[in-house]
Each structure stands twice: as structure tokens, then as C-alpha cells.
Chains A and B, each alone.
Chain A
Amino acid sequence: MSGSITAGTALRTAAVPTRLSYPPWRVLAAGIVWLVLAGLTLQLPEAGDFPRTAVFAQGSAAIGLALLPLGLLAGRLGTFGARLRHWSPWLAAIAVVLLTWELVTAKFDLLPMPFFPPPQAILEVFLDDWPKLGGSTLNSLILLAGGYAFGAGLGFVLGVAIGTSKAVGYWAHPVLRFVGPLPATAWLPLAFFVFPSSWSASTFLVALATGFPVTVLTWSGVAGVNKAYFDVARTLGASRSFLILRVAIPAALPHVFVGLFMGLGGSFAVLVVAEMLGVKSGLGWYLQWAQGWAAYANMYAALIVMALMCSSLITLLFRLRDRLLAWQKGLVQW
């Protein structure tokens, strides 16, 4: 919980990072590291049989070769050049990590093999098993989207209702306090036999994990609205619905987004657990399946896809927030 709270406060702190601008030769150097990776991957003998070694080396070579002219021209490529220069140390670092990984696994066999596959084995999964991996991602996304939309929508409405109506607050508050802090995963065994399908059970669990933080933060946002804002609107002739829709909700929106952010994090956790234990599809299920078959390369591939998916969804949420809360100062750059 404390991690989420720090993230919540960080959402509101002012951060003005300046873009580091490295000289163009750094881009060139990064390209050379990628070429070294390609060369060593091709030249050194392998400890096992990896069908995709050549493709991996070719890909690395292509990146290295692309970076060479870009490095020479980086000073004249405008924003793209500046971005490339900014990320050049990372580009080099990725190549160094891949090379180290390649050497300790495929080349010198220093790590126990089935558990630590080389990069080309993971590439192989992406190239050969992408229909199953892609399908699993899609299934995860559909399940997550349904549950998240349901939970966030309901949580938002409930939060606003608790914050603006004494009667709703009277009845909802104790229930929320008693049931809300329960981890959504604790409902799992119950959910899977109460709900008619594992899909509806998982949607319920994801909605629950999302709904609690969204409800609490929307409510606290509405409760914390400057009372003078209401006085202003009341003297100007505002109706009750105007006070809720045009004053309380926009004023609470920064809090609502903290709730949506925390809810999204919680929903990832529940999604994966639900897919591992009940649902017969999705990335969580793919992970479980890969482990069952000792297909560790598939597991790493699924983890990479999952990281990409979660990160992209959070990016999407932050973009939405930046659009809606453009009036706020000092938004965190995600």
C-alpha cells in the first residue's frame, strides 16, 4: 500500500527533467556496440542448438548499421536526432546487456540451461509462437478492459455519491471500510463457484480491485473540495446537479486519477492471478502453461509482453490525465 501512496503523491509533485543531450558520436558508439554483439553472436561457437541465432545476429547487425549513419547525421535530424542522442547511452547499454546475456548462456553455458534461455531462444518464441502469445495478450486485454471499465465506472459514481449525499455515505461507508481493504484475490475461491463462468468471475475480481481505490479517492477528492467553490457557485444560482457535475467532479478529478492509477496497478495483479488459477486463456494462463511444459523461453517472452502491456496501459492513462488536467501545474512525466 505504501508504494501506491508514494506514487499517488508523486503524481502531484513538480518535476522538470531536462533532456540530456549527448554528442552525436555517442550514437555512433552505440551502433558499434550492436555490431560487436552481432559479430560475437555469429562467430563464437554455441553450447547448445539454437535455430534462431543467425536471425538474432542479423537483427543486431541491422540495428548497429542503422545507428552508424544516424550517429553521423544526429546533429541535423531535429527532434528525432535530439531524442536519439538522449537515449544513446541506453541503446549501448541494451546491447551490452544482451551481449553479456548471450555470452553467459548460449556461448559459455555458465547458467543452468532450461531456466536461463539465451536471447535468441526468446526471439524464437516471438517468431514461432506469436499467434498463441498474441491471442493470450488479446484475451487478457479484453478481460482487463471489461473489469476495469466496470470497476472504475462504478467506483467513480459511488465515490461521488458518498461524497455528496449523506444518506449514501451513511450506508456505504461502513461496508466500504469493512469489505474494501480485503485483497480482491481473497475473493477468488468464492468468485469461481458463485459466478456462472470463470470469465464473469474474473471480471468481478478485476472490477473489485479497481473499484475500491477509485471509490475511496473519488470520495476523498469530492470531500476535500474547497468549500468556497460551492459558496461561489451557490450565490451564482447553481442547482444541486450543477454543484456536483460542474464543481465537485472537476475539482476532485486529480484525486480520481490517483485512484484510477492505483486501481490499474491492482487490476494487473488480480488479472494475472485469476488467469493462473481459473481462466483458460490470457497471459497469466500462458505463463502457467509455459512453466508446466518447462518452456522457460516462453515464460520470459510472456513476461516481456506483460510488462509492455501494463506499461502501455499506464502510459495511456497518464496521457488521458494530461489532456483532462492540462490546467494543473507540475504534472509528473510518465
Chain B
Amino acid sequence: MVAATRERPAVQAVGARLSVEAVSHAFDIRGTPLPVLDRVSLAVEPGGFVALLGPSGCGKSTLLRLVAGLEPPDQGLITVDGDLVEGPDPSRLLVFQDPTLYPWRTVRGNVALGLEAQGVGRATRAARIDQALGLVGLAGFADAYPHQLSGGMAQRAALARALVNEPRLLLLDEPLGKLDALTRLAMQAELLRLWEEKRFTAVLVTHDVEEALILAERVIVLGDRPAAIRAELPVDAPYPRHRDDPDLVRLRRTILEILGQTT
């Protein structure tokens, strides 16, 4: 990328630089194209945390799938650290709304998935899995099967499954969307801690304004389908943030107005 030449401090950032340039994409619904993304451009600094906020079904998730390399965009360019995204890669990982753990594998087996697929040796694997499980607080559940886990625990396992691969870009597709309110709050704090510890670049898709404001350094508001960027708002409040911080409350009102929810 040419535009972002700003000097970063000497801290070793493991996060990748993401650039999305004028990406448009359409779904094919029985022969008729249904446009979901309309010339979306955004850039995320290495180690940055950006939230994509928008009404449900507006195409946010599609954008993440494109960045993950699961599908090629119809138009536009997606680059990570200057390299064109041409397919999936373990350095760019998606965490879905559903944990999508494999029911036939234990938690340990699920976390091992990426390392197995990449051909990492058994000995190194075990150590890294233990570390990742410890990181998300699931050390005691390594041998449990997914159906024995609560929703929050399953989502932690899904996070560990991604983090064990040391991703440089973590794409979070409403990862807390299906959790109950209390678990959600706990997991938000958890996500923040993991991000501060690991310094990966994070892109969070959510339709929860508060969640976006608590977690992200920058909030990008998308409009209805086909999604185009409506506004980009930096969130400068220091971490950890409080929900009743007047700055955040003001930002929240602004965002809701942009989304057309004036109350």
C-alpha cells in the first residue's frame, strides 16, 4: 500500500496491514445478480481494531469472507501487507457467529485442526494447543466434546482454534451474536485482552453499536444492501472503556442517527 507510510513505533507488531480498495460484490440468486457490496474501501493499520457496523443482512459478513479469501470479489482489490488475497490462508482467520466446532472432535482436537492441516508435528502441536486453551481459559475442558460446552465456552474454543495458528489478521463475524447478555460482556473483555496481548489486526463485524464502541479503535458504519460506507468514526477513548463514558454515549447517538434510528 502506498498511502499509509506513517511511521509505527518500534513495537514489534504481528498484525497485518489490510487494504480493501473499491470492492463490489454480488450474489447470484437464480440468475439475477443481487449486489451486496458497493465500492467499499477501507484500510486497517497493523495491529488495529476496526468494527464494521451495519444493519443485518447488509453484506458485512460477505466482506469478511472476501477478506478471508473464501470467495474472490467481483470487482476491486483486497491486499494484506501488500499481497493480493487470492485464497484462504491460516494467517487470516475467520471466527464465525456459530462456533462451528466439529462435534466428532474434542476441544483439543478442534483446536488442533489448523496445526494438523498445516502439517505441524505432534510434539509442537500439543504445547501450542495447551497454550491456546490456557489463553481462553479452557485448559480444564481439553477433552470435552462440543455438545458438553456452553455457548460461551464453545465460542472460546473457536477463538482458541483460530489463535493457536498465530493469525496476523483476525476476522470476527459477530462472534458474540448468539451469546446471552452476561456472557457477552465477559467475552468482550476477553477479546480485548487477547487483542492487547497478541497484537493481531482485528476486524469485527457486529450490529451492536455498544460492542463496537467498547472494542474498536475505529467504527465504520455501513448502509443498507448493497453496503457502502456511510461514515468512519475514530473512537479515541482509552481502554478499558466504560459504557457510560459521555464521549461514547455521544458517539453512540451519532451512529444511531446515521443508521436512521433516532430515538
Contact = CB atoms under 8 A, between A and B. Distances in A.
A231 B117 CA distance: 13
Contact of A229 (B65, B68, B100): B100
A327 B104 contact: yes
A146 interface: no
B89 A251 contact: no
A236 B102 contact: no
B141 interface: no
B70 A235 contact: yes
Contact of A236 (B65, B96, B98, B113): B113
Given A233-B117, A236-B114, A228 B96 contact: yes
A246 interface: yes
A200 B68 CA distance: 53
A329 interface: yes
B44 interface: no
Given A228-B100, A250-B104, A239 B117 contact: yes
Contact of B90 (A229, A235, A329): A235
Interface in A220-268: 226, 228-229, 231-239, 242, 246-247, 250-251, 253
Interface in A299-327: 325, 327
A248 to B, nearest CB: 11
Interface residues of A, number: 22
B131 to A, nearest CB: 17
B70 A327 contact: no
Contacts of B103: 327-328
Given A228-B98, A329-B147, A236 B104 contact: no
B118 A327 contact: no
Contact of B92 (A235, A253, A328): A235
A251 B103 CA distance: 8
A253 B98 contact: no
A229 B105 CA distance: 12
Contact of B117 (A236, A325, A329): A236
Given A231-B70, A327-B147, A237 B102 contact: no
Interface in B105-160: 105, 113-114, 116-118, 145, 147
B95 to A, nearest CB: 10
A329 B118 CA distance: 30
A246 B115 CA distance: 13
* Residue from B68, B89, B102 whose CB has the most chain A CB atoms within 10 Å: B102
A193 B103 CA distance: 49
Interface string B46-70: 0000000000000000000100111
Given A231-B70, A231-B94, A237 B89 contact: yes
B19 interface: no
A249 B25 CA distance: 33
Given A242-B117, A327-B147, A329-B147, A237 B90 contact: yes
A327 B90 CA distance: 27
B165 interface: yes
Given A226-B100, A228-B98, A327-B103, A236 B147 contact: no
B116 A235 contact: no
B100 A232 contact: yes
Given A229-B102, A232-B100, A237 B114 contact: yes
A251 B147 CA distance: 15
Contacts of B89: 235, 237
Nearest to A247: B102
A325 B117 CA distance: 22
15 contacts: A228-B100, A231-B70, A231-B100, A232-B94, A234-B70, A235-B68, A235-B89, A235-B93, A235-B94, A236-B90, A236-B93, A236-B161, A250-B104, A253-B104, A325-B104
Interface of B: 65, 68-70, 88-90, 92-94, 96, 98, 100, 102-105, 113-114, 116-118, 145, 147, 161, 165
Interface of A: 226, 228-229, 231-239, 242, 246-247, 250-251, 253, 325, 327-329
